[in-house]
Amino acid sequence: MNIAIVTSTFPKNNSDNIPKFIKNQIINLKSNYPELNFFVLAPDNNENIELEESNHFKQIRFKYFWPKRFQVLTKNGIVNQLRRNFLNYLFIPFFFVSQFFYLFRLAKKEKINLIYAHWFFPQALNAFLVSKILKIPFVYTSHSSDVEIVKKRIPYLGKKIIRRISFEAKAISAPSKKIINKVKENFSIIELSDITTNVIPMGLNTKNVNLSKNKNFNSDQINILFLGRFSKKKGVHLLIKSIYKISNELPEKKIKLILAGDGEEKDEYKSLINKYNLSSYVKFIGFIDEENKYGIINDSDLLIVPSIETKSGDIEGLPVVILEGLYCGKIVITSTYTNAQEIIKDYYNGFIVEDINVDSLANKIIDVINLDPKLKKTIQLNAKKLGERFNSENNAKEFYNSMINIL
């Protein structure tokens, strides 16, 4: 079976700091179902990074503007780019049309049997159009606020577009119940029987993972880790401010905040660190590749995912880093904006911060630091057990049965 994956974000190779959850999903599926052939259609950008040659998939990059230096729409995410510069809206029609023609050509040339779109707009819309013309079935995954943003930005027509495309899709998935419910609320109870929806987290690439201690950090201190892209919705500014409060309330504790990643908010974080005189408490370690990611998580004491909702309405789906932390048996502290409350229960397998702000986050971290060691160990074991559910093989089977083996 030939499957076209159409997405607005995909790493060109392992050194590319673009999130790799779609790539890992493909690797998991191909490893477990070798009869599947994947063709990934993703936008080109303004960076000269060599394309990876893989036995798991073939990459096709489409150009949507000239000269190349103006291909910035998907850098750090489309929503972020639109928020940063209103002029980036001018690139959307070019992006949409170019993606459509490349997808149409790919589907004909490679005799595609299924189109799988990641994010509703414009990928699911283009998948729908090509599907109607070439009579090829399609499915799509809504990752976060993509469906909701379409409805907000195009108040009347947006809902009609969502309904039409969702009715035509063979299946729809999302990483959390909250996101799939945002799709479902566009339909009546009777209509819901005509669409297939699934809640499937993106899963992990756990093949050949080494969970032994690597001694990346000083074991004499409490190592608090954030791992991810430095963008507004990640809420790292709250975490930095909370470290200031924690350092004042627990002066006897050696605390180190490890910031692993990169992105457009890095300068703001540095300014906050200088403002609160936290240079001895915070360490930047840069972008961490797949090979070293689990070692970094495993050497930390706490994993913090303090996500928020931005002014534009951009939120998380269910960040894969949470699942990675659970898989490593780490105590994860996160907010309700990650939708992790669907799988994490306080004092059982992790911690959820309600109404996240500096005080609520700091107080939760302090509570965890002061936990009874036996209870802490029990929570870590429960986290590990939960994380195992999202390993490579389980994730591949769930996606295959729900999104591919339905034709």
Give the tens place of pLDDT for each residue, 364-389.
999 999 999 999 999 999 999 999 99
Q: Which residues contact 282 (CB under 8 A, 6 or more apart)?
A: 240, 243, 256, 257, 259, 273
Helical ranges in 266-352 per DSSP H: 266-275, 290-298, 320-327
Tokens at 171, concatenated: 């299946």
**Are residues 126 and 186 located together in one domain of the fold?**
yes
Longest dimension (CA), the chain: 67
Direct distance between the N- and C-terminal alpha carbons of the chain, in angstroms, rounded to an integer: 11
Return the pLDDT at 333.
98
Q: Quick one: CA dihedral 89, 91, 97, 98, positive or negative?
A: negative
**Are residues 348 and 230 located together in one domain of the fold?**
yes
**Are residues 76 and 172 located together in one domain of the fold?**
yes
**Are residues 232 and 314 located together in one domain of the fold?**
yes
Is 212 part of a structural domain of the chain? no
Sheet harboring 282-286: ordered strands across?
Answer: 282-286, 255-260, 222-227, 302-305, 331-335, 351-353
**Are residues 251 and 382 located together in one domain of the fold?**
yes
Question: pLDDT-based confidence at 203, cuts 50/70/90?
Answer: confident
Sheet harboring 114-118: ordered strands across?
Answer: 57-62, 37-43, 2-6, 114-118, 138-141, 171-174, 197-199
User: Over the chain, what is the mean pLDDT?
Assistant: 91
Is 211 part of a structural domain of the chain? no
Question: pLDDT-based confidence at 315, cuts 50/70/90?
Answer: confident
Top pLDDT among 175 and 15 is at 175
Give whole-number Cα distances, 169 to 98, 101, 178, in Å: 22, 20, 20
Is 74 part of a structural domain of the chain? yes
Is 253 part of a structural domain of the chain? yes
**Are residues 132 and 194 located together in one domain of the fold?**
yes
Distance CA 342, CA 318 (A): 10
Of the CA atoms within 13 Å of residue 94, those in its CB half-sphere come to: 17
Contact 176, 316 (CB under 8 A): no
**Are residues 287 and 356 located together in one domain of the fold?**
yes
**Are residues 331 and 226 located together in one domain of the fold?**
yes
Return the pLDDT at 155.
77
Per-residue pLDDT, averaged over 12-16, amounts to: 85
**Are residues 194 and 236 located together in one domain of the fold?**
no
Per-residue pLDDT, averaged over 75-101, amounts to: 83
CATH of residue 188: 3.40.50.2000
Cis peptide before 155 (omega within 30 of 0): no
Share of the chain above pLDDT 70, in %: 97
Distance CA 252, CA 258 (A): 19
Return the pLDDT at 206.
82
Range of the domain at 182: 2-206+391-404
**Least-confidence region, from 57-71, 125-139, 190-204, 284-298:** 190-204
Is 10 part of a structural domain of the chain? yes
**Are residues 39 and 162 located together in one domain of the fold?**
yes
pLDDT tens across 219-257, in order?
679 999 999 999 999 999 999 999 999 999 999 999 999
Per-residue pLDDT, averaged over 96-103, amounts to: 97
Is 215 part of a structural domain of the chain? no
Strand partners, 173: 141, 198
**Are residues 254 and 384 located together in one domain of the fold?**
yes
**Least-confidence region, from 74-78, 126-130, 197-201, 254-258:** 74-78
**Are residues 38 and 27 located together in one domain of the fold?**
yes
Neighbours of 373 (CB within 10 A): 7
Residue 176 reports pLDDT greater than 80: yes
Is 123 part of a structural domain of the chain? yes
Is 94 part of a structural domain of the chain? yes
Distance CA 29, CA 3 (A): 11
Q: Quote the DSSP letter at residue 346.
A: B
Domain count, the chain: 2
